[in-house]
Structures are given as C-alpha cells and as structure tokens.
Amino acid sequence: MKKRFVLFVVTSLLIGLASTSFAAPVVDPVKVGLSKDLIYFVFPDRYLNGDTSNDSFPGYNPRDTAFFHGGDLKGLTGTCSDGDNGLARIKKLGFTAIWVTPLVVQQKPTPNGAGYHGYWGVDFLNVDPHLGTKADMVAFAACAKKLNLKLILDIVTNHTGDVISYNDKTAYLSSDLLNAKNPAWLNDLSNYHNVGSMSNCWGDGPCIQTGDFFGLDDIATEKPVVYNGWADVYGQWIRDYGISGFRVDTARHVDDAFFKNWSPQINAAAKSVGIDNFTIFGEVWDVNPINLMNYVRRNKIQTVLDFPFQRTAAEFAAGYSDATVVENLFAYDDLYTTATSDASNLVTFLGNHDMGRAAKIIESKRINKASELLPRTLLGHALMYLTRGIPSVYYGDEVGMIGTGSGSDQLARQDMFSTKVGIWKTEARVGSNPIGTGDAFSITDSHPIAKYLKVLSALRGSNPGLANSSMQVRYAKDELLVISKKDESENREYLVAFNSSTKAIKASINTATSTGGWKALLGKPAVVNKSEVVTITVPALSTVVLKANKGIDKTDVKVGKLTSKMDFLTGYYETKAAVTSKDLLKVTFSARTAADKPWISLGTDTNSPYIVYIDPLEFAEQKLELRAEVINSKGKKYELPYTSLTIPAPRR
C-alpha cells in the first residue's frame, strides 16, 4: 500500500505567533512564493529521535519498515543552533524551505503497519502522539522562523484513514468508530462517495475521483461542507504557524472544481497573517506535460510536482537519453504560460518517498560502471538546481542513500539516525560506505553529495540569475545540453553546460554577449571566446557554469508575423510570435474581444520559440484580436502586427 501524508490543525496555542506579522514578499502575479527556494523534503519519523518518551505508543517497531521508528518533532527541531543535527543542519546544507510529511493523528495500527508516514489521518486537529505535541509544533515553527526556513506542510484533502466498512455495497461504521474522526463532519457518511475501490468502483462519476485510494475513505470534495471544512482546518494551520505552502497529496483524485473552491479561502487565511504569496503545489502523478498542465490551467491548482522533469532528468543523468529529450521537455513549458502561471513554478525532484531515491532511479535507467553513479547523481542534482523550477531534495539523498531491491515505497524511507532495520545497515550507498551501526549525521560534512549541494546553493545565492530565472536552450546534441540564463538586474548572461557522456565534449555556443569574456563559476572547462560565440570543452560527467564579464549587447530583434492555430495534441490554440534574436527576450501576448475592450494578458514567454497556448474553453464562441510585444535586454520594445482568431463553440 502506498503511504502518503496528511497535516493536522491546532487550536489557538500560538496566539502570540499568530498575531505576528510575517514578512510579506513583493508579489509577482506569475511567480509563486516559493519560486526562488530550495526545498528539503523529510519524514519526521525517520529523521531524528529527540524524545524517547513518545516511543511507547502502539505502532512503534523500529525494526520493521512499516511501523513508527521514533523520529519526532523535537528531533527535527533540535536546538536551533549551529552544529546541531535538526533544522540548523538543514539550513547549513543550503536549503531555504522544509517540507514535512503530515503530523495528524493516525488510525490505529494494523498487524501489517502503522501510519508513520502520516497518510492514514483520522484526527486532523491534533498531533500524532508518536511525533510529539502541539507545543512541540510551536517550537518547530519558531525555530524555522528563527532560521528563516519556510515551512511547507503536506496535506491530504482527497481521503482519510480507512475507517468505513462495506456490507456488499452498503457503507457503514462499526459502533466503536462512529466518532473516530475529527472534526465532526468527517464522521458523516454522506460526506463520502462510498463506492468501493478506485480500481473497481460502482456508482456515478470517474473511479479515479470517487473511489477509495488503496482502501482509504474517499471524501466527496465537491460538497461545500467538505471544501469549506478543509479550508477551516488547514487555514488554521497557516494562522497559527505562518506556514508558507502546502503540498497537496493525490491532487488528481479530488473533484475538478475543488481547488477553485478551496484555494481562495486558503489564500485569504494566509493574507490574514501577512503571507501574500502562499504556495499550493499538488501531487499529480503524470509524466505527460500535456495532461499535467490542465490541472494548473483548468482545475486551478496553483502549481504541481514536475513528474515529467523527474523522468527526463534521471534518464539524461543516467545516459539513457540524450540532450534533445531534455530540450523537448522544456519546449512543453509554454503550455503552462498564462497571466498567472509559468513553468518556473513547477516543483522539480529526482526521487521521492514513493518512487525511490535519486541514485536508485538513476542507477536503474541504464547499466553503467559502478564508479559512474556518484558523478551521474551529482549531474542530476545540478540539472535540477540550475534549470527552471523549484528544486526539492528528498531527505537522505544528500548522504547517498540508495535502497535495496526495488528501492521504492517503504524501502525508500530509511532512518537518518542509527537504524535497527537490518537491510538498511548493509545496503550500499553512493559516495560512502554502508552505514552499519552509525548514523547519517556523522558523515554529512564529508559526503560528496552534501558538499556539492552546498556548492550549488551558494552558487545560486551569490548569482541570482541562476536561481530559477529566465532560461534559453542554446545547444542540445548527443550528451551535451547548454542553456543560457539571465540576471535581470545586472543584464548579465550565464552559460550552464551539462555533459552526461563519459568523455569530454567540445561545442561552439551562440550567446547574446560579444565582449568582455567569461568567468568559470563551476567546473573546469576549456573556453575560447570569439565575439558572441563561445567554444567550450566540458569535462566528462560534469556541469560547468560560465558568467559573462559584461552585460548582454547582442540585442537586435527581427520581427515577423503573429499566428494562431489549433494544436491537435492539446486542443488549445498555439499562438506564436515569429521573432528572431540572439538576445534573451521577453514576449508578452495579449487578447481583446473588441476594439473598445481592454487587453487581457495571455502570459509572457522568455524562451524561444515564443509561444503561448489559448484555452478555447476560456474564449468559446468569441472573436479575439491578438497582439505580442517584444522587449529586448536594453528595454527596447517591438510590436508584431495584430492578428485575429475566432474560437468556435465547444464540441458536445
């Protein structure tokens, strides 16, 4: 059974903290609040045991991968001082946000397992006693605030723990479980679909949205009592702790309108304590960006986990696929571009608690020499940190955890502290020896992955243009991918090259910078610069970063036509500005329904070819006038001739 997570709510224990005005960032309507952050994703139960007094509850068995192991909020919080293994360690690794699995009270353990993962929630207003108390959560939030670490809580809105039973096709609650859940509306059977398993449900509606997810009780998220109830529950979390974001579990399984009904209430709760750019990202397990983008554009999930990136990055790092596959992935980024979203908001990752760890996945993609696994794992992390998106690293990956057997699900949830699970003591690690009776904390400072993540974080910190800024693919051939990134404030160009070959690769790259030369910030490339062409030799299995010594100066723009036609794969209207330039441009697309009507932004594209996609459901049976405005790096504006588009009625 897959294990996921749920959050809990507390009552007014944190009155003082709730009344504090949390720092509100300058809000960009397109960028989410976490857009520049680096996320550390962690299981509190598997991180560090800070309070052994809570180990005695039913479900504690540190020798079995399916039960609680003793990690808790006190262990994760630590002393909040330098040198400690709690949040201070995570901060030292370069992370700016921490995403924790749910802490709500779980259903009673079964002979086969317990809810150490947080996915079997029944009481959403209290902390599971295995993990601590509400007071421990107060201390955790206060430490994170002190260290300037943003808190991201994993929540579940699609289902609860498995409490409801079936007699044939009739749902019922046994007498001892009539009030098993909290708040009270969760005990009302009419707030559930009650149609059996998602794999074989009965009744109306798609099973993927109405069926029980691996036996867990599926909630009727289309009902006002449900989405308003969840808004009350999770809104209180924000008010009490100043949380910056939610990761929403199984987001593809809720009602299509759920996020439209729920998210505005969550954003209002955040604004009430001064958080003006709260981030909600959903787990939509789909590797096809054409499918994924509709959850953002039509279902109105603010953003999602980037499963297409995960697959593509792991395959490129492994040498299984070449650079053109990565280029093709980024070409789909235009699907996410609207007036309020773009692909830079996607939360990227290499491995997770369900699929397995980064090194294990990279290792599984292609048979390579054992000695290649470490540099290939570093390459995968560099690709995640230095391209677009919000990187998230799964705890333990920084110290080379791999996994045994399939390496997925329970086998990807190792203890950071000294483990009592036999296979975890002896399983291989990348970059270090099997852990034996030791712990992961003692090897962190010397581990090559942890050290590299610190380097990448510091590089982003001192060069904001590398931290999820505008990006242009410059070269993609065989095992070499080269991108340009741009520092808007300095008008400075970076070149980032990724080589997944076991041999050095030499290539000539066209740039927007012709004078001043380039400085190497990462790696040891050989560089020859002639005008705007940079010839670079990238060492085997490595990443290099170059920064231009002077600002962008190749800013000439050739403007052509603006066209719009239906894309047969998506059903959207592909609207393309024919613009040619070596510069890293911004092209903003707009539409209006009549000459006396205001222009409506369709989004801004910063990656050639310059395209947005118009959703026909937003403008059904309307005639649109379209325009595109180009801005080069010197601020000069160009406008393409207008064009028109008539969108027919939707097909019935």
With beta carbons less than 8 A apart as the criterion, state whether 34 and 391 touch.
Answer: no
Residue 603 DSSP code = E
Q: Of 568, 582, 576, nearest to 616 (Cα)?
A: 568
What are the residues whose beta carbons fall under 8 Å from the beta carbon of 275, sequence distance 6 or more? 22, 24, 33, 238, 242, 243, 244
Q: Parallel, antiparallel, or unpaired: how do β-strands 104-106 and 121-127 relate?
A: antiparallel
Which residue of the set 283, 315, 342, 398 is catalytic? 283
Report how far residue 464's alpha carbon sits from residue 462's, in angstroms, rounded to the nearest whole number.
Answer: 6
Question: With contact defined as beta carbons under 8 Å apart, do 332 and 288 qualify?
Answer: no
From residue 142, alpha-carbon distances to 118, 123, 639 in Å are 22, 24, 50
Q: Say whether 249 is catalytic.
A: yes
Comparing CA positions, the residue from 228, 215, 297 lying closest to residue 256 is 297
Residue owning tokens 């990565």? 326
Longest dimension (CA), the chain: 80
Specify whether the CB–CB gap between 197 and 210 falls below 8 A: no
- Give the C-alpha distances (Å, rounded to integers) separating 301 from 16, 34, 230, 437: 32, 15, 15, 44
Nearest to 355 by CA among 310, 390, 319, 320: 310
Catalytic residue among 249, 333, 342, 415: 249
Q: Among residues 3, 276, 235, which one has the least CA distance to residue 125?
A: 235
Q: How far is CA 63 from CA 425, 559, 603, in A?
A: 11, 66, 53
Cα 643 from Cα 561, distance rounded (Å): 8
DSSP state string for 557-577:
-EEEEEEEEE-TTTSSEEEEE
Asked if 518 contacts 534 with a C-beta cutoff of 8 angstroms, the reply is yes
Sign of CA dihedral 201, 207, 213, 217: negative
Alpha carbons 52 and 62: distance in angstroms, whole number:
12
The residues that bridge with 245 in the sheet, in sequence order, are: 152, 279
Helix ranges restricted to H, 409-524: 422-426, 448-462
Sheet with 150-156, edge to edge strand ranges: 303-304, 279-282, 245-249, 150-156, 97-100, 39-42, 390-394, 347-348
280: three-class secondary structure by DSSP: strand
Count Cβ neighbours within 10 Å for each residue of 503-513 and write b for 16 or more, e otherwise. eebebebebbb
283 is catalytic: yes
List, in sequence order, every residue forming a beta bridge with 526; answer none if it has no partner: 537
Residues β-bridged to residue 347: 305, 390
| Total residue count of the chain as it appears in this document | 652
Closest CA to 463 of 519, 534, 515: 519
Q: Rounded to whole angstroms, how far apart are CA atoms 564 and 589?
A: 11
Give the H/E segment covering residue 644: strand 643-647
Strand partners of residue 631? 586, 637
> Which are the catalytic amino acids?
249, 283
